[in-house]
Structure 1
């Protein structure tokens, strides 16, 4: 179980459990008990979940604390709750040559795709059914490749014209494609950070309710690197550039 101790209002310490995203299979009233499977494919376990106050509608995502007796004794990546493991700019914390750092610096979207796959989120940074998260890394990688080819093709087309005779449609198409990819990158990283904070009960510290957006917009590589360190437990397990999760083979999964 992953915990970090924090002081309660009465001066005593209280435990903050890891939260688990549950997707409602149907519209259910509050208090209803349903059986939900959590965990990585191939190692899922069933737990009883009580529908929260107000009930849920089909497909709605809600959070529950991970039960104390869940998979006791089984290896699992541990991550702090209630706070970030380290700061946004502590990108060398895992080492100046760590794969997660250089992947985040050289190809931020690939590093983001690895973390999305690690957490079993979809390509938009949200929790989703297994069918929608099974190939998240491949989906994001395909988007990156398509955008790269798209941009390269338009650049080659521009070279066939003089600077002042480049058709407007080429300039407009390239600008539109660049904006679309930028918006996607910021949005998906913002949702990833938001959902990681919810999972580990990490409060915002700056910028009020737009902290996730501001961090994702102005320092995306730092944000990806921070989330990778928080969810990677690199002190125990090796990172890897050439894997869908950014972790070495046989690394335990995150619940």
Structure 2
């Protein structure tokens, strides 16, 4: 507030020290009659408060910026997540590189499989192809143990997954042959259901870890189940070839993970 001098006319004959209210420019203030008093209509010079001009402050729009967070997984993979103002987020995985042969090779690609599902015939002359075709139970046991999954393709106790799958698969096949010959009872359907579930769940875990979008049916497991049912062997070979570069880490038929000793673990 600032003070301004103005003349106010006395409303009537007023004695010295009398106080009355006056209004100027919409501002009401108290006026004290000066020494000697005043007569009606006599001007009185007084100071009255004037409101200060409002201070205009320029408004600054609030601009939301993306929030980025990053962390490193135990296997060395750097995961960077960016949350955008519209609610969407972007995740980038930078996989570590391992030394092998004459050049560095990525441990495993993300966002896509290293090989197509029909590329299984590229390894027609290798042990993994015939393991997938003839001993799918043993082969999936290796893949699931490598990926730290239990015999049904779910996270859990995995230390003996390969052994359990191999023994169970061998017993089921042997009993099926015996019952088929003796009583025409076939247990192959049990093996088919078990392997379909194991391959589908393992494939789904692969996609989640390596950020691979589904081919169909959205994020449900139906797409994984269809592929596991109709192309289970090809799907198993695709997962086996994805985790490690086969040029550096050769497939080993007689190990729990299908990899040679010294191959890096999947964390």
Give the TM interval when normalised to the shorter protein.
Answer: 0.5 to 0.7
Which among 75, 80, 84 is matched to residue 109 of structure 2? Answer: 80
Which among 115, 134, 151 is matched to residue 159 of structure 2? Answer: 134
- Bigger radius of gyration among the two: 2
Uncovered stretches (5+) of structure 1, i.e. residues with no partner: 1-13, 21-37, 40-44, 46-64, 159-170
Deviations, residues 29-71 of structure 1 (Å, cap 9, x unaligned): xxxxxxxxx67xxxxx9xxxxxxxxxxxxxxxxxxx9998x99
Structure 1 pair 72–236 and aligned structure 2 pair: CA distance change class (3 A): closer
Q: Following TM superposition, by how much is the alpha carbon of 1:106 offset from its aligned partner in structure 2, in angstroms?
A: 2.2
Structure 1 pair 111–232 and aligned structure 2 pair: CA distance change class (3 A): farther
Normalising by structure 1, what TM-score?
Answer: 0.61
Uncovered stretches (5+) of structure 2, i.e. residues with no partner: 1-67, 77-90
Structure 1 pair 124–66 and aligned structure 2 pair: CA distance change class (3 A): farther
CA distance, structure 1, for counterparts of residue 240 and residue 248 of structure 2: 14
* Higher helix residue share: 1
Which among 241, 244, 250 is matched to residue 256 of structure 2? Answer: 244
Q: Following TM superposition, by how much is the alpha carbon of 1:181 offset from its aligned partner in structure 2, in angstroms?
A: 2.1
- Secondary structure (helix, strand or coil) at the match of 1:105 reads helix
How many residues align structurally?
179
2:169 maps to 144
Structure 1 pair 73–207 and aligned structure 2 pair: CA distance change class (3 A): closer
Q: Following TM superposition, by how much is the alpha carbon of 1:180 offset from its aligned partner in structure 2, in angstroms?
A: 2.3
Q: Which moved more, 1:105-114 or 1:189-198?
A: 105-114
Deviations, residues 113-149 of structure 1 (Å, cap 9, x unaligned): 1101111111010111xxx211000111111111022
- Secondary structure (helix, strand or coil) at the match of 1:109 reads helix
1:179 maps to 189
Once the two structures are superposed, the pairs formed by residues 137-216 of structure 1 within 5 Å of their partners are 137-158=162-183, 171=184, 174-175=185-186, 177-208=187-218, 209=220, 210-216=222-228
2:234 maps to 222
Q: Following TM superposition, by how much is the alpha carbon of 1:74 offset from its aligned partner in structure 2, in angstroms?
A: 9.3
Normalising by structure 2, what TM-score?
Answer: 0.58
Structure 1 pair 66–113 and aligned structure 2 pair: CA distance change class (3 A): farther
Deviations, residues 158-188 of structure 1 (Å, cap 9, x unaligned): 3xxxxxxxxxxxx5xx34x332222111011
2:246 maps to 234
2:138 maps to 110
CA distance, structure 1, for counterparts of residue 224 and residue 210 of structure 2: 15
Report 1 or 2 for greater relative contact order, CA contacts < 8 Å, sequence distance ≥ 6: 1
2:19 maps to none
- Secondary structure (helix, strand or coil) at the match of 2:119 reads coil
Deviations, residues 61-99 of structure 1 (Å, cap 9, x unaligned): xxxx9998x999899981111111121001134x43222
Query: Is the counterpart of residue 96 in structure 1 residue 124 in structure 2?
Result: yes
